[in-house]
Amino acid sequence: MLFRRDREEDPRVLKDPHRLPPGQVLTLKWPVLSYGSPPRYDMSRWRLRLYGEVDAPATLTWNDVRKLPSTTITADMHCVTTWSRLDNNWEGVAFKDLVALVKPRKTAKYVIAHCDADYTTSLSVEILADDDVMIAYRHDGAELTPDHGGPLRLVVPKRYAWKSAKWLERLEWVEHDRLGFWERNGYNNSADPWLEERYW
Protein backbone atom coordinates (compact mmCIF):
# COMPACT_ATOMS: atom_id res chain seq x y z
CA MET A 1 0.00 0.00 0.00
CA LEU A 2 1.18 3.55 -0.60
CA PHE A 3 1.61 5.42 2.64
CA ARG A 4 -0.04 8.77 3.17
CA ARG A 5 3.27 10.60 2.65
CA ASP A 6 3.67 8.97 -0.75
CA ARG A 7 0.43 10.11 -2.30
CA GLU A 8 1.87 13.52 -3.22
CA GLU A 9 4.60 11.68 -5.17
CA ASP A 10 2.19 9.68 -7.35
CA PRO A 11 2.33 11.32 -10.81
CA ARG A 12 -1.41 10.92 -11.29
CA VAL A 13 -2.08 12.95 -8.17
CA LEU A 14 0.69 15.42 -8.98
CA LYS A 15 -1.00 16.08 -12.31
CA ASP A 16 -4.43 16.50 -10.71
CA PRO A 17 -4.31 17.07 -6.92
CA HIS A 18 -8.12 17.12 -6.76
CA ARG A 19 -8.33 13.56 -8.04
CA LEU A 20 -7.98 12.14 -4.52
CA PRO A 21 -11.03 12.89 -2.32
CA PRO A 22 -10.46 14.33 1.16
CA GLY A 23 -9.40 11.81 3.77
CA GLN A 24 -8.39 9.16 1.22
CA VAL A 25 -5.07 7.27 0.89
CA LEU A 26 -3.81 5.69 -2.32
CA THR A 27 -3.28 1.95 -2.65
CA LEU A 28 -1.63 0.03 -5.47
CA LYS A 29 -3.34 -3.18 -4.38
CA TRP A 30 -7.06 -3.94 -4.38
CA PRO A 31 -8.17 -4.63 -0.80
CA VAL A 32 -10.91 -7.21 -0.26
CA LEU A 33 -13.68 -5.96 2.01
CA SER A 34 -17.05 -7.70 2.08
CA TYR A 35 -20.02 -8.43 4.27
CA GLY A 36 -19.89 -12.21 4.30
CA SER A 37 -18.04 -14.76 2.18
CA PRO A 38 -18.17 -14.87 -1.63
CA PRO A 39 -21.05 -17.03 -2.90
CA ARG A 40 -20.53 -19.99 -5.17
CA TYR A 41 -22.88 -19.81 -8.14
CA ASP A 42 -23.90 -22.47 -10.61
CA MET A 43 -23.75 -20.23 -13.68
CA SER A 44 -26.13 -22.48 -15.60
CA ARG A 45 -28.78 -21.51 -13.03
CA TRP A 46 -27.65 -17.97 -12.26
CA ARG A 47 -30.13 -15.22 -13.16
CA LEU A 48 -30.25 -11.41 -13.07
CA ARG A 49 -33.78 -10.18 -12.45
CA LEU A 50 -34.82 -6.65 -13.52
CA TYR A 51 -38.23 -5.66 -12.22
CA GLY A 52 -40.41 -3.21 -10.28
CA GLU A 53 -41.72 0.06 -11.70
CA VAL A 54 -40.85 -0.91 -15.28
CA ASP A 55 -42.87 -1.69 -18.39
CA ALA A 56 -40.65 -4.53 -19.60
CA PRO A 57 -39.35 -6.62 -16.68
CA ALA A 58 -36.68 -9.13 -17.61
CA THR A 59 -34.87 -12.13 -16.21
CA LEU A 60 -31.45 -12.61 -17.81
CA THR A 61 -29.25 -15.69 -17.89
CA TRP A 62 -25.49 -15.31 -17.78
CA ASN A 63 -25.37 -15.80 -21.55
CA ASP A 64 -28.02 -13.10 -21.96
CA VAL A 65 -25.90 -10.65 -19.98
CA ARG A 66 -22.79 -11.40 -22.00
CA LYS A 67 -24.70 -10.92 -25.26
CA LEU A 68 -25.75 -7.39 -24.32
CA PRO A 69 -23.66 -4.56 -25.81
CA SER A 70 -20.45 -4.30 -23.81
CA THR A 71 -18.67 -1.13 -22.80
CA THR A 72 -15.45 -0.25 -20.99
CA ILE A 73 -14.61 2.55 -18.59
CA THR A 74 -11.54 3.64 -16.66
CA ALA A 75 -12.47 5.02 -13.26
CA ASP A 76 -11.09 5.55 -9.77
CA MET A 77 -12.51 3.64 -6.81
CA HIS A 78 -12.89 5.17 -3.36
CA CYS A 79 -13.68 3.04 -0.31
CA VAL A 80 -15.34 4.44 2.80
CA THR A 81 -12.50 2.87 4.82
CA THR A 82 -10.26 5.59 3.25
CA TRP A 83 -8.36 3.75 0.50
CA SER A 84 -8.52 4.82 -3.14
CA ARG A 85 -7.38 2.82 -6.17
CA LEU A 86 -6.90 4.80 -9.37
CA ASP A 87 -7.43 3.85 -13.01
CA ASN A 88 -9.53 0.71 -12.67
CA ASN A 89 -10.48 -0.70 -16.06
CA TRP A 90 -14.00 -2.12 -16.04
CA GLU A 91 -15.90 -4.00 -18.72
CA GLY A 92 -19.60 -4.77 -18.65
CA VAL A 93 -23.00 -3.40 -19.60
CA ALA A 94 -23.77 0.30 -19.33
CA PHE A 95 -26.59 0.93 -16.89
CA LYS A 96 -28.33 3.11 -19.46
CA ASP A 97 -28.61 0.02 -21.68
CA LEU A 98 -30.45 -1.80 -18.89
CA VAL A 99 -32.74 1.21 -18.61
CA ALA A 100 -33.47 1.01 -22.33
CA LEU A 101 -34.20 -2.69 -21.95
CA VAL A 102 -36.72 -2.51 -19.09
CA LYS A 103 -38.28 0.91 -19.81
CA PRO A 104 -38.77 2.33 -16.29
CA ARG A 105 -42.00 4.19 -15.59
CA LYS A 106 -42.07 7.82 -14.52
CA THR A 107 -42.85 6.61 -11.02
CA ALA A 108 -39.43 4.92 -10.79
CA LYS A 109 -37.22 7.26 -8.76
CA TYR A 110 -34.73 4.82 -7.20
CA VAL A 111 -33.14 1.46 -7.90
CA ILE A 112 -32.53 -1.13 -5.19
CA ALA A 113 -29.59 -3.45 -5.84
CA HIS A 114 -30.28 -6.86 -4.30
CA CYS A 115 -27.28 -9.11 -3.83
CA ASP A 116 -26.22 -12.36 -2.22
CA ALA A 117 -27.10 -12.88 1.47
CA ASP A 118 -29.88 -10.26 1.26
CA TYR A 119 -27.39 -7.38 0.97
CA THR A 120 -29.00 -4.29 -0.55
CA THR A 121 -28.11 -0.73 -1.39
CA SER A 122 -30.05 1.97 -3.24
CA LEU A 123 -29.31 4.79 -5.65
CA SER A 124 -31.39 7.43 -7.36
CA VAL A 125 -32.11 7.10 -11.06
CA GLU A 126 -30.28 10.41 -11.57
CA ILE A 127 -27.04 9.01 -10.15
CA LEU A 128 -27.42 5.83 -12.16
CA ALA A 129 -27.86 7.87 -15.35
CA ASP A 130 -24.16 8.84 -15.33
CA ASP A 131 -22.24 7.50 -18.32
CA ASP A 132 -19.72 5.72 -16.08
CA VAL A 133 -22.27 3.53 -14.24
CA MET A 134 -22.38 -0.11 -15.31
CA ILE A 135 -22.81 -3.71 -14.26
CA ALA A 136 -19.32 -5.18 -14.60
CA TYR A 137 -18.01 -8.68 -15.21
CA ARG A 138 -14.37 -7.88 -16.04
CA HIS A 139 -11.71 -5.81 -14.25
CA ASP A 140 -8.25 -4.86 -15.53
CA GLY A 141 -8.49 -7.33 -18.40
CA ALA A 142 -9.61 -10.39 -16.42
CA GLU A 143 -12.91 -11.92 -15.34
CA LEU A 144 -14.13 -10.38 -12.10
CA THR A 145 -13.18 -12.71 -9.25
CA PRO A 146 -15.64 -13.72 -6.51
CA ASP A 147 -13.63 -11.80 -3.88
CA HIS A 148 -14.22 -8.62 -5.84
CA GLY A 149 -17.87 -9.20 -6.66
CA GLY A 150 -17.83 -11.67 -9.52
CA PRO A 151 -19.59 -12.82 -11.50
CA LEU A 152 -21.37 -9.46 -11.63
CA ARG A 153 -21.23 -6.26 -9.61
CA LEU A 154 -22.61 -2.77 -9.86
CA VAL A 155 -20.02 -0.05 -10.54
CA VAL A 156 -20.82 3.53 -9.49
CA PRO A 157 -17.47 5.36 -9.49
CA LYS A 158 -18.69 8.70 -8.14
CA ARG A 159 -19.90 7.13 -4.86
CA TYR A 160 -18.11 5.28 -2.09
CA ALA A 161 -17.48 1.69 -3.10
CA TRP A 162 -20.17 0.05 -0.96
CA LYS A 163 -22.67 1.47 -3.46
CA SER A 164 -20.89 -0.60 -6.15
CA ALA A 165 -22.62 -3.69 -4.82
CA LYS A 166 -20.97 -7.10 -5.21
CA TRP A 167 -22.66 -10.35 -6.29
CA LEU A 168 -25.55 -8.61 -7.99
CA GLU A 169 -28.71 -10.71 -8.38
CA ARG A 170 -31.63 -8.31 -8.78
CA LEU A 171 -32.29 -4.68 -9.69
CA GLU A 172 -35.61 -3.28 -8.52
CA TRP A 173 -36.95 0.07 -9.74
CA VAL A 174 -39.06 1.70 -7.01
CA GLU A 175 -40.93 4.93 -6.34
CA HIS A 176 -39.68 5.43 -2.78
CA ASP A 177 -36.16 4.94 -1.48
CA ARG A 178 -35.34 2.11 0.93
CA LEU A 179 -32.18 2.17 2.98
CA GLY A 180 -29.78 -0.68 2.30
CA PHE A 181 -27.70 -2.80 4.67
CA TRP A 182 -24.90 -0.35 5.43
CA GLU A 183 -27.21 2.66 5.33
CA ARG A 184 -29.36 1.09 8.06
CA ASN A 185 -26.18 0.60 10.06
CA GLY A 186 -25.03 4.20 10.04
CA TYR A 187 -23.55 4.84 6.59
CA ASN A 188 -24.57 7.97 4.71
CA ASN A 189 -27.08 7.22 1.96
CA SER A 190 -25.59 9.81 -0.43
CA ALA A 191 -22.04 8.39 -0.18
CA ASP A 192 -20.31 11.21 -2.06
CA PRO A 193 -16.54 10.83 -1.46
CA TRP A 194 -15.82 14.44 -2.39
CA LEU A 195 -18.10 15.60 0.43
CA GLU A 196 -16.82 12.85 2.78
CA GLU A 197 -20.35 11.52 3.22
CA ARG A 198 -19.21 8.42 5.07
CA TYR A 199 -21.64 8.22 7.97
CA TRP A 200 -24.90 9.82 9.09
Residue 35 lies in a domain: yes
First to last CA, the chain: 28
Which tens digits make up the pLDDT trace of 3-42?
A: 444 454 677 775 676 789 999 999 988 988 877 789 999 9
Residue 114 lies in a domain: yes
Residue 96 lies in a domain: yes
Residue 72 lies in a domain: yes
CA distance 97 to 174: 18
Closest by Cα among 118, 146, 121 to 38 = 146
pLDDT at residue 15 in the model: 62
Rounded mean pLDDT of 79-95? 97
Reported as a pLDDT band with limits 50, 70 and 90, residue 100 is: very high
Looking at this protein, which amino acid is placed at residue 169?
E
CA distance 131 to 117: 29
CA distance 120 to 182: 8
Q: What is the chain's mean pLDDT, rounded?
A: 93
| Segments forming the whole domain that contains residue 38 | 4-195
CA distance 77 to 193: 10
CATH number at residue 96: 3.90.420.10
| 160: pLDDT strictly greater than 80 | yes
Which tens digits make up the pLDDT trace of 33-64?
A: 877 789 999 999 999 999 999 999 999 999 99
What is 114-161 written as a DSSP string?
A: EEGGG-EEEEEHHHHTSTT-EEEEEETTEEPPGGGTTT-EEE-TTS-G
pLDDT at residue 200 in the model: 74
DSSP H or E run through 89: strand 83-94
Residue 200 lies in a domain: no
Looking at this protein, which amino acid is placed at residue 124?
S
Which tens digits make up the pLDDT trace of 109-139?
A: 999 999 999 999 999 999 999 999 999 999 9
What is 46-57 written as a DSSP string?
A: -EEEEEESBSS-
Phi, psi values for residue 58, rounded to 5°: -145, 150
| 105: pLDDT strictly greater than 50 | yes
Q: How many domains does the chain have?
A: 1
Q: How many CB atoms lie within 10 A of CB 42?
A: 6
Closest by Cα among 94, 89, 24, 85 to 65 = 94
Residue 111 three-state SS:
strand
CA distance 46 to 63: 10
